[in-house]
Amino acid sequence: MKLASFSREKINVIIYMMTDMLAKGIPFLLLPIYTAFLAPDQFGNIAIFNVIVEIAIIFVVFGANSYYRVEYFNTTDKPKLFSQLFKNILFTFPIAMLLQAIFVWSELNPGNQEWPWLFAAVIIALMQSVVLMFIAEFQSQGKALHVGAINLSSAVIVASITIVLLSFDFAEQARYWGFLIGSLSVAGIAWFGAKKLAVTPSFDNVKLSKPALSFGLGVLPHALSWWARTGMDRMIIAKFVSVYHVGLYSIAAQISLIVIVISNAVNQAFTPKFMQMLTEKKYRQSFVLCLKIIAIYLLVSVLLAMSGPLLFDWFINAKYHEALLLLPLMCVIALCQAIVTLLSNFLYFFKKVKILSIITSTTSFMHVVIAYLVVESYGINGIIISSIATYVVAATIILIVTMKLLKGEHHAQNQPI
């Protein structure tokens, strides 16, 4: 049984990695087209729009997908919990829309998007939150093919619409339309796939899940800390340097995304395994597995940084070649992000989300403050180095807390970790 289970997990890892790499590889392979049609400042505006969508997702999904993965093996009524979490999303969506209205009213719009697109960003966030919930269900069931099909469908639809509209001179709005139509389409595909498995939510006699909302509130600073790093970086660059440089930064970040693609695939495949191992109190095995995964992340990061010149010569339009100088440092950021995400699984399991939020939000706040202080003197490089340093601090503190939790469980259970 254990051998069969392990083989299935290895197959799932391969499926997650291949489909996620294909899904992320599509926009990567299309970079020659995007960089040919779009100037760096337009690419920068698109990056800022993505930031707006990302923060809207945080307030719409409100940690529901993470809560479901944590509680999946603990609950006896999975359909009820699944439905409750969907109702939570319908509850948080108007809050996100209200926040966007304040955003528009305050004229906080460094990307200069028209106001209808700012509200469309929240619609995109709602659809992506729905997709995230179905992905959490499929991951928990070990249905890697379903997750892969959703990710690939999203990439293909968004890319196809973008290319067609770029050819009709829609410029950066081609990307916005691609995101909107793609998110609506993929939400429908995910719902249809879930219906085939009889796991669609039912809202009859279902109340909000207050524990999930409490969990989401606790993890909110942690989620916002990710936005504070990636989103605020772009906002600070746009304000103090230029949107043109946001475009260069975003190209380097998109290439370094290869590290995140691999880490996300591994995390998707092994999160259920981590939770099961920790539930079975196999603490030493779970920690050793974590260290092996980190070693893989390090190897991928080094290889990607070394192959940067070749990638730029092959794929990227010459007007973006200044971004090559940023790539090695962006790979280090991606490595740090992957490590923090992986280690966070331990704190999720022990429901120490408030501690996790304090760690990540505090270090992210430190990064934002440092970035503001150094950007005018050191430019983008100062922001990147600040991000690396504060990521290292966060990872170190999470590791220390994790070891204390595991040792505490060891003494409580009187078994080796």
pLDDT at 3 over 50: no
Domain ranges of the chain: 2-413
Of residues 268 and 385, which shows the higher confidence score? 385
Task: Map tokens 């950066």 to a residue.
Answer: 172
Mean pLDDT throughout 94-107? 81
Mean pLDDT throughout 157-165? 95
Q: How high is the pLDDT of residue 391?
A: 93
Q: How high is the pLDDT of residue 1?
A: 41
pLDDT in tens, 191-220: 887 877 667 777 777 788 888 888 888 878
Buried b (16+ CB within 10 A) or exposed e, 79-96: ebbbbbbbbbbeebbeeb
For residue 181, with 0-12 CB atoms within 10 Å meaning exposed, 13-18 middle and 19 or more buried, which class applies? middle
Q: Which of 228, 201, 259, 205 is CA-nearest to residue 64?
A: 201
- Maximum Cα–Cα distance across the chain: 68
Residue 106 near residue 81, CB atoms below 8 Å: no
pLDDT at 5 over 60: no
Task: Map tokens 């509200």 to a residue.
Answer: 119
Mean pLDDT throughout 138-155? 87
| % of the chain surpassing 70 pLDDT | 93
Mean pLDDT throughout 22-48? 86
Residue 349 near residue 400, CB atoms below 8 Å: no
What is residue 317's three-state secondary structure? coil
Q: How many CB atoms sit inside 10 A of residue 184's CB?
A: 15
The lowest-confidence range among 21-30, 49-58, 106-115, 254-263 is 106-115
Confidence of residue 242 (pLDDT cuts 50, 70, 90): confident
Of residues 2 and 233, which shows the higher confidence score? 233
What is the phi/psi pair of residue 161, to 5°?
A: -65, -40
pLDDT in tens, 259-290: 987 887 777 677 777 778 888 888 888 888 88
Task: Give 378's contacts (C-beta < 8 A, 6+ positions apart).
Answer: 385
Q: Which of 14-18, 261-265, 322-326 has the highest mean pLDDT?
A: 322-326
| % of the chain surpassing 90 pLDDT | 32
Average pLDDT, the chain: 85
